Amino acid sequence: MGLKIDIPKSALLMLHCQNDIVKPEGKFAPSGIADQVAKHNLMEKWMAVIKASRDAGLRVVYVSNVFRPGFPELAGRVFPLMRGTKEFGAFIRGTWGAAIPDEIKPLPDEIIIENYNSSAFSYTDLDLILRANGIGYLFLAGVATTFVVNSTARYGAELGYEITVLEDCCTAFSDEMHDFEVTKVLPHFGTVSGSADFMAALADR
């Protein structure tokens, strides 16, 4: 059964697609994500869903993991995932590593939300901007499935957003972790779909 998309009320969220995590030279690459991105051709898939969204007039919103130099955000009790970020020195504002890759670069009028937690909603203005623009349906793409994608699905669902995870536009530290999330966990918080269905629905409006 086909996915239906109410374009003005929807947004594609590109989550943590930044050089430090998706490129082999990135500081967070040792986590294994960059290899998974390459193995599953995610960059090409992201380019395709972004182009299809723009062509259809669907809003694209980027969420980037950004820290101030010196990591004052992580001065207190820090959970293991974030300790990694701090040790790698990744995602510092203004650096190449924190930037979104050229291949999927935002247009000048597209919104970038900066966060530094695992959820895109946590202590950011994402909810406020989506609300102000009447958006209620979110399509999620990015890395990692276990972290920003899962957390954003959870928090977003609780806030009343209808969540669709574009499963082949996400990856995790391993296929096992990704597969578990998309088959066992995320279906409880929304719909799990593929980018082909998403693009078909956008074309068929």
- Interface with a copy of itself (CB under 8 A): 68-70, 72-77, 79-81, 108-109, 111, 116-119, 122-125, 127-129, 131-134, 136, 146-147, 151, 154-155, 157-163, 176-177, 180, 184-185, 187-190
Task: Please give the structure tokens belonging to residue 63.
Answer: 């969420």
Task: Please give the structure tokens belonging to residue 170.
Answer: 């996400």
Pairing of strands 111-115, 137-143: unpaired
Q: Is 165 helix (H, G, I), strand (E, B) or coil?
A: strand
The dihedral sign for the CA sequence 171, 177, 179, 181: negative
Query: Can you state the percent helix, strand and coil of the chain, rounding each to 5?
Result: 45, 20, 35
State which residue, 45 or 59, has the beta carbon closest to a copy of itself: 59
Residue matched to tokens 């399509």 = 139
CB of 40 to a copy of itself, least distance (A): 19
CB of 24 to a copy of itself, least distance (A): 22
State which residue, 186 or 201, has the beta carbon closest to a copy of itself: 186
CB of 81 to a copy of itself, least distance (A): 4
Q: Is 105 helix (H, G, I), strand (E, B) or coil?
A: coil
- Between CA 49 and CA 141 the distance in angstroms is 9
CB of 60 to a copy of itself, least distance (A): 13
State which residue, 36 or 119, has the beta carbon closest to a copy of itself: 119
State which residue, 192 or 199, has the beta carbon closest to a copy of itself: 192
DSSP 165-182: EEEEEEE-SSHHHHHHII
CB of 137 to a copy of itself, least distance (A): 9
State which residue, 51 or 187, has the beta carbon closest to a copy of itself: 187
